[in-house]
Amino acid sequence: MSEKILATENLTVSFGGFTALNQLNFSMDVGELRVVIGPNGAGKTTFLDVITGKVRPTSGHVAFKGNRNLRKLSEHQIARLGIGRKFQTPRVYLNLTPRENLQLSCDRPKAVFASLFGTASQASQRTVAGLLETIGLDKKADKAAHLLSHGEKQWLEIGMLVAQSPDLLLVDEPVAGLTDEETELTGKLLLNLAESHSIVVIEHDMEFVRQIASQVTVLHQGTVLCEGTMDEIQTDPRVIEVYLGE
């Protein structure tokens, strides 16, 4: 049996009387890139919130790398186990350069001093140089981040997550508000990262989903409606009904 990076078992989250996740069973293999789609209110954000410890399950379990004991851990502790989350709005230090932002993410607190006083280790300098190339910002490495486009800030933040060497990357709507060209480049970046990372992407843009996804999970009313390739799910009558009924 292949190794699971993430699995949920009858995962339920209720807010008062409202059930946002309902007995959700989801699993993905190490090294997989999975796209999760679903109409508004399907539970996609709650799904990420519960994986990262921001929201606690009402019942059921989340297992990360086979470890089911996440319930008692703080958000910070769960992140340190190796889960990196990219929110919709980029959270980069606008007054620092892309190189400095990446340097800080590479090896926090030591790197704060190292990058500010120009003493970053050769190893982290090499990592940062490689990441700058991966995210396509090598030519803008030393300009202030506030000069970057929205897309470039998104890539920088993805790079900052990767700098922390997570085992699982959770990426929430990475192409919202991007140009067509930026969207395509974001797809290439995620496909490139997927060669060495397990990634969950939440996305609305179906063209983009088609570009990056081999396996898609459709959430509806807090549970898995169906899973399959983009061709399979696009012709599934249940999916058509859910989306047309939105």
- Which residues here bind ligand ADP, judged by CB under 6 A? 15, 18, 20, 38, 40-46
The runs of H, that is alpha helices, within the chain are: 44-51, 75-82, 98-106, 110-116, 122-134, 150-163, 180-194, 206-212, 230-234, 237-244
Cβ atoms of 46 and 13 within 8 Å: the answer is yes
CA separation for the pair 90, 151 (Å, rounded): 9
Residues 145/95, Cβ–Cβ less than 8 Å: yes
Compute the distance between CA of residue 27 and CA of residue 65 in angstroms, rounded to an integer.
11
SS3 call for 72:
helix
